[in-house]
Amino acid sequence: MSIMSRALAFAGAAALLTSVAQAAELKVGYSLSQDSHYGVGATAFGEELEKLTDGKFTIKQYPANALGGEREMVEGAQIGTVDVVITSTGPVGNFVPETLITDIPFLFKGYEHAHAVLDGPIGQEILDKFPEHGLIALAWGENGFRNLTNSKRAVKTPADAEGLKIRTMENQVHMEAFKEFGILPTPMAFPELFTALQQGTVDGQENPIGVILSAKFSEVQEHLSLTNHVYSPALIILSPVVWDGLTDEEKDAFRQAAKTAAAAMRKKVRDDAENGVAVLKEQGMTVTEEVDRAAFEAELEPLMAKYAEQFGADRLDAIRNHD
């Protein structure tokens, strides 16, 4: 953090400590609409927190990028202008590089595998790194397995995807992987994405079914391929400015509320993944269900040696071989 950021954080902390001693309404920001998995998670978080703290802490939700894109909200949490952020890991690796390992495509075999890893010691070790980077991570939430959409053609194999200009999150691991797929990755903040798709600045994007639904991408994208190429975790992040003013009992309440939020989020992600494709078809999208995932995964072979060096071969194996 810069000196200015630290000064702002200190001023924010002083102001908040006064209010925390009484009661506090926390600002919770996220990028999706209130009826999305993030909205469901935020509501569960607020209800549980209020209950566990006898009404001392309540929340006000700021959905749909009202507090900025995910990178900006995380910066806001660092300096105390945003209290809680529900975010994908997309931009978080730029703040806490230890999260980047979770962004490797085809690393997680399914939802149960991802939950077991992230809710166990490996996931906890990553959460424990956040304070070193001026943030508190309360729990892993969920965004879901990401799927490719585009306005040009049905994509079944990497050859079909070659040359497409696809918006990626501002995430180094995703951008490298997309290059291997023969795609032209275009990193862009989510708030700019709908217009970029509408105006043809990019051909497509990739996101979980729940996001494709809630962001109404069927209005600007014809083709959906069920690539499920990467699991996209989410995080419930708290500003250290809030955290530092809490008692130990309140800290437990925040952690517990975040776990309740994560469970609600994961349920909604599953419901959307199971029921959303039919809705997107009704909305006019052409869906490619039989994607050659093995061929996409094979394209990443050259990157795996680099990942083994960057993240540690043992650590990657520990995730891959986790029950």
- The interface with ligand PAF within residues 161-220 (CB under 6 A) comprises 169, 190, 207, 211
In single-letter form, the type of residue at position 220 comes to: V
Q: Which residue is nearest to ligand PAF (CB)?
A: 88
> Judged by CB, which is closer to ligand PAF: 32, or 166?
32
Query: Could you tell me the smallest distance in angstroms from the CB atom of residue 101 to ligand PAF?
Result: 18
Query: Could you tell me the smallest distance in angstroms from the CB atom of residue 100 to ligand PAF?
Result: 15
- The interface with ligand PAF within residues 67-86 (CB under 6 A) comprises 70
Query: Could you tell me the smallest distance in angstroms from the CB atom of residue 61 to ligand PAF?
Result: 15
Residues in the chain: 323
* Contact between 260 and ligand PAF per CB under 6 A: no
Query: Could you tell me the smallest distance in angstroms from the CB atom of residue 152 to ligand PAF?
Result: 19
Tokens 């994560």 belong to 262
Closest CA to 322 of 157, 156, 101, 167: 101
Q: Pattern of binders to ligand PAF over 88-127, x per CB under 6 A? A: x-x-------------------------------------
Contacts of 289 (CB under 8 A, 6+ apart): 226, 277
Q: Residue 254 is encoded by which pair of tokens?
A: 């925040």
Q: Residue 275 is encoded by which pair of tokens?
A: 């029921």
- The interface with ligand PAF within residues 304-323 (CB under 6 A) comprises none
State in Å, rounded, how far the first CA of the chain is from the last one: 38
- Alpha-carbon torsion 246, 238, 16, 9, what sign? positive
Which one of residues 12, 24, 27, 31 is an interface residue with ligand PAF (CB under 6 A)?
Answer: 31
DSSP-assigned letters across all residues of 53-115: TTTSEEEEEE-TTTT--HHHHHHHHHHTS-SEEEEESTTGGGT-GGGGGGG-TT---SHHHHH
Which one of residues 99, 102, 143, 147 is an interface residue with ligand PAF (CB under 6 A)?
Answer: 143
How many residues interact with ligand PAF (rule CB under 6 A)? 12
Contacts of 54 (CB under 8 A, 6+ apart): none
> Judged by CB, which is closer to ligand PAF: 228, or 232?
232
| Residues of the shown chain interacting with ligand PAF in the complex, contacts defined by CB under 6 A | 31-32, 70, 87-88, 90, 143, 169, 190, 207, 211, 232
